[in-house]
Amino acid sequence: MARPILLAGAALISGVMLTSQALGSEPERVWTLDDQLSIPEVRAIAIAANGKSAAYVVRIADRESDRTDAILRQVDLASGATRDLLRARWIDQLSRIPGTADWSARIDKGDGVQLYRIEPTGTVMPLVVHPARAIFGDSEGAVFPGYGHAPLPTGVRAHSWSPDGKRLFYVTVDAAPPTKSVRYDSDVTAERARRRSPGQATASIYLREPDGTDLLLGMRPQSDLTTFFDRNHVRWEKDEVRYDVMEAGADGQQKVVTMAWGFADRKARLLDPKVERVYWLLAGPNGGKLSSQGNGDTRELVETLPGDKTRSYGNFAFAVGDGRAVGGFRSRDGKRAITGTRTIDAPRFGLAVVENGAVRKIGGEQSLNLCDFGPTLEHGACIAQGQAAPPAVVAVDVSSGKIRRVASASPAHEAITPLTIEPRTWTNRHGYKATGYIVWPRGYEKGQRYPAIVVTHGTDADDRFANRENQWEYPVQLFAERGYVVLLVNDPSSRQNAEISAAYDAWINETRDLPPETLQQLIWLNGVASYEDAVKELVDAGVIDAARVGIAGYSRGSQMVNVTMTNSHVFRAASSGDGGYLEPAFYADIAGSYDAVFGGPPTDPAALVYYRRLSPSLRASEVCGAILQQVAAPYVPSIDLYTALRKAGVPTQLSLYPGEDSASDETHIFHIPSNRIGAMQENIAWFDYWLLGKLDPGSPVAERYAFWDKMRAASPRCDGPDG
pLDDT tens string 439-480: 999 999 999 999 999 999 999 999 999 999 999 999 999 999
Domain boundaries, the chain: 10-29+419-714, 130-179+196-276
List strands edge to edge, sheet with 309-316.
Answer: 289-293, 299-305, 309-316
Q: Which of 670, 623, 676 is nearest to 651 (CA)?
A: 623
pTM of the model: 0.93
Q: Give every CB contact of residue 5 below 8 A, 6+ residues apart in sequence.
A: 426, 427, 428, 533, 534, 537
Does residue 173 register a pLDDT over 50? Answer: yes
DSSP code of 332?
T
Does residue 226 register a pLDDT over 80? Answer: yes
Output the average pLDDT for the chain.
92
Does residue 19 register a pLDDT over 50? Answer: no
Q: Does 186 or 396 have the greater pLDDT score? A: 396
Rounded mean pLDDT of 543-551? Answer: 98
Q: What is the pLDDT of residues 320-377, one digit of tens each?
A: 999 999 989 999 888 999 999 999 999 999 999 999 999 999 998 999 999 999 989 9
Phi, psi of 271 (to 5 degrees): -80, 145
The identity of residue 582, as a single letter, is L
Q: Does 112 or 139 have the greater pLDDT score? A: 112
Does residue 52 register a pLDDT over 50? Answer: yes
What pLDDT, on a 0 to 100 scale, did the predictor assign at position 13? Answer: 39
Least confident interval from 50-59, 244-253, 461-470, 700-709: 244-253
Q: Are 706 and 699 in contact (CB under 8 A)?
A: no
Counting beta carbons within 10 angstroms of the beta carbon of residue 449, is it exposed (0 to 12), middle (13 to 18) or buried (19 or more)?
middle
Rounded mean pLDDT of 677-695? Answer: 98
3-state class of 65 per DSSP?
coil
Task: Assign 272 a pLDDT band (cuts: 50, 70, 90).
Answer: confident
What sign results for the dihedral spanned by CA atoms 111, 113, 119, 125?
negative
What sign results for the dihedral spanned by CA atoms 455, 460, 461, 466?
negative
DSSP code of 414?
H
Q: What is the pLDDT of residues 692-709, one digit of tens each?
A: 999 999 999 999 999 999
3-state class of 450 per DSSP?
strand
Q: Are 282 and 328 in contact (CB under 8 A)?
A: yes
Rounded mean pLDDT of 248-267? Answer: 89
Least confident interval from 285-294, 412-421, 494-503, 578-587: 285-294
Task: Assign 717 a pLDDT band (cuts: 50, 70, 90).
Answer: low
Q: Which of 626, 666, 658 is nearest to 642 (CA)?
A: 626
Rounded mean pLDDT of 413-440? Answer: 98
What pLDDT, on a 0 to 100 scale, did the predictor assign at position 461? Answer: 97
End-to-end CA distance of the chain: 35
Name all contacts of 102-110 with Cβ < 8 Å and 24+ positions apart. 103/46, 103/48, 103/55, 104/159, 104/161, 105/44, 105/57, 105/72, 106/156, 106/158, 106/159, 107/72, 108/152, 108/153
Return the CATH fold of 10-29+419-714.
Rossmann fold (3.40.50)
Does residue 721 register a pLDDT over 50? Answer: no
Task: Assign 719 a pLDDT band (cuts: 50, 70, 90).
Answer: low
Q: Are 599 and 607 in contact (CB under 8 A)?
A: yes
Does residue 655 register a pLDDT over 60? Answer: yes
Q: What is the pLDDT of residues 561-619, one digit of tens each?
A: 999 999 999 999 999 999 999 999 999 989 999 999 999 999 999 999 999 999 999 99
3-state class of 159 per DSSP?
strand
Counting residues of the chain whose pLDDT is more than 90, the rounded percentage is 81
What pLDDT, on a 0 to 100 scale, did the predictor assign at position 722? Answer: 47
Other Cβ atoms less than 10 A from the Cβ of 561: the count is 30
Cα torsion 268, 271, 276, 280 to 10°: value is: 10
What pLDDT, on a 0 to 100 scale, did the predictor assign at position 4? Answer: 32
What pLDDT, on a 0 to 100 scale, did the predictor assign at position 183? Answer: 81
